[in-house]
A and B are shown apart, each in its own frame.
Chain A
Amino acid sequence: MKPDVSPPGKPLVELKGISKRYGDLLANDGIDLAIEPGEIHALLGENGAGKSTLVKILYGVIEPSAGEIRWEGRPVAIASPVEARALGLGMVFQHFSLFDELTVAENIAVALSGDWNLSTVRGKLGEISRTYGLALDADRAVWTLSAGERQRIEIVRCLLQNPRLLILDEPTSVLTPQEAEHLFTTLDRLSAEGCSILYISHKLEEVRRLCRRATILRGGRVVATIDPRASSAREIAALMVGNEVGRVRTDAPHHPQGEMLKVGRLSFPPVGLHGQALNGIDLVARAGEVVGIAGIAGNGQSELFAALSGERLADRADAIVIAGKACGTMGIDARRRLGAAFVPEERLGHAAAPTHRLSENTLISHAAAEVSRSGFILVNAARRLARSIVQSFDVRTPESDPQARKLSGGNLQKFVIGREIIRKPRLIIVDQPTWGVDAGAARLIRQALVDLSREGSAVLVVSQDLDELFEVADRMAVIHQGTLSPLKPAREWTKEAIGLEMLGVAQAQGGAHAV
């Protein structure tokens, strides 16, 4: 691969000195970027580096504070997504811009400019689906679809308008490895047909698989434009983060002993139409180990977490045993008293009350402990506790003791995990510990979880991020449609094997769990 990264011809779109200011925060600071026709260009950076802001400016959702956009050399002002689409831009959003109660065809129709009716949309949908192998049922309601299918809707919606430039914001964050590979094939094909692609990601491997040029953002600025195939993953990571990201240390000797959590034949019917049933889950987490549970979102992770934490009670006490005590029918606080701690997926609104201060938020899980007495809050003790969590877990706060909602996602996540770890629980169960958290904070959180296990606690991590699980877990299992695969040592798993389990293919092939 030649390391030549200079533009070979006339760019399709050029951004010059784009800046965006929100109050004191400079989200984008003089960004220059050029994309060639037919090129797959990566935009790399940490969460908060300004990638999403930049593409929203390009797509006309956000107005830039300064700078110029040139389309085929001609300066343009893109005041709205409608104008962006008229120019030939299409965008696949990270958090899909779909309408749950509408059907696939309606979701596509609603974003099209020009003349259409639902039957022409159905026809064109079928055409595009066949051409690109993107299978979709036009009359299904969106809320019944998987994340991969939802993304297909977004992509088809863009392709129907024959885009010249397709923007994808973190497209693989919700996909299985197999679904992602399918997406890459589609993108390669589009690129070969002359459609430019701006590919936003923080996953180096896929950027190296797809792109010949990558622009790296850090703190709202362009730090480098490189050929990702000519640079090592470590070099690129260093550019993204600004300093070398260390790996999580897991090498401390450990001898798991004593079952802190034992789940036996745990089953639940689904709740509501969106719910997933749990089918005879068996699971053991021992003191001193990290157990990881992989799976695509919506396969029963939330249900499993609710059952383990006691948000939803089991019908038998012995379905869940924590520290030797059958507690399947006990509530959350009773389970906490047994030495368990729980960190739900949703930081704001579930793990923390948005408008409460951090000190008040300590009471959510410490109510039984040192911060209240006879029903009264020990204000000073709560403040001290919040302060020590903030210090121990490097939580960056805009003021002393702010409301939870004022913290960025990564910092709030450090706080809610720190709040549990600081109690030195004998068992901690964490759902998606680093979802949407930047690499620095993610590393700190993972290290804290591993350290806790090495001090003799049992740690159960439910995560969609395979890299994360391979980094921290001693043993792993995959949940698919409410059924858990057998737990096996992490080194016996490969990514491919996990991917197959996530899709349920391994079970379909006669329970072939061997790797």
Chain B
Amino acid sequence: MEAIVDQTAKVDPMNKVNTELSKENPEAHDLSGLETVGIPFTDTAKMSMRDVNVFYADKQAIFDVSLDIGQNEVLAMIGPSGCGKSTFLRCLNRMNDTIDICSVQGSLKLEGQDIYDPKLDVVPLRARVGMVFQKPNPFPKSIYDNVAYGPRIHGLVNRRTDLDEIVETSLQKAGLWKEVRDRLHSPGTGLSGGQQQRLCIARTIAVSPEVILMDEPCSALDPIATAKIEELIAELSENFTIAIVTHSMQQAARVSHRTAYFHLGKLVEVNETEKVFTNPDHKLTEAYITGRFG
């Protein structure tokens, strides 16, 4: 597990919070002076974000979020709807670029390189930081073409046999190879929901990204498919750094190493997952994960 670098962030949160927050209604709290508690920083940071602010036109969606994602770590982001966790996730590979009114401030670095550098090309960035979406969204093409699409557009392979190999290993890593090897050329949309999502994961890892962002990858799946994806996330964390946004707190508890709790655009708490789910530092985190508001 990651060593804790910044202990100063832990400024006796309990007392501070307790004086700041009234007991009756956690939602009504004034969050203006809120500081992130727990351990947002690691010394093996793959991505490090500092003082990130995101605006949709005049409306601010993210407030001063500072957070590291460690190498080969699974970081879960949880929080009520509209708390900005998905927005934050989409900043990490600049998917928010497509929204005209969205602007991002602050420092977001992938291995020390500023990903919002105007000179940086977003295409290779997205190859390095892949994304899996909420709804399984395979292309209306064959299974093979779905996985081969990334390597093809990035020109990763020249020979057909190399491409075949990438497709096979990606599908194997995504735990789908055995199920689809006999029908690689049938449409990807013909698979079940869980298989489609694993196909999307295979498609993402086919371009060998360093970081995989997952935006509620299991919200459209049944429990068994969900279990398979969760199993897969655990396996993938050996090779990839994963940031996952989830609405299922149990899922965050099962798959992640660290958990970040967002509330109204602010990062309230980041801690080891065990800590968050047994004894969170912040009252708001506690209230959220125990189902006192949502």
- Bind each other: no
* Interface, chain A (partner B; CB < 8 A): none
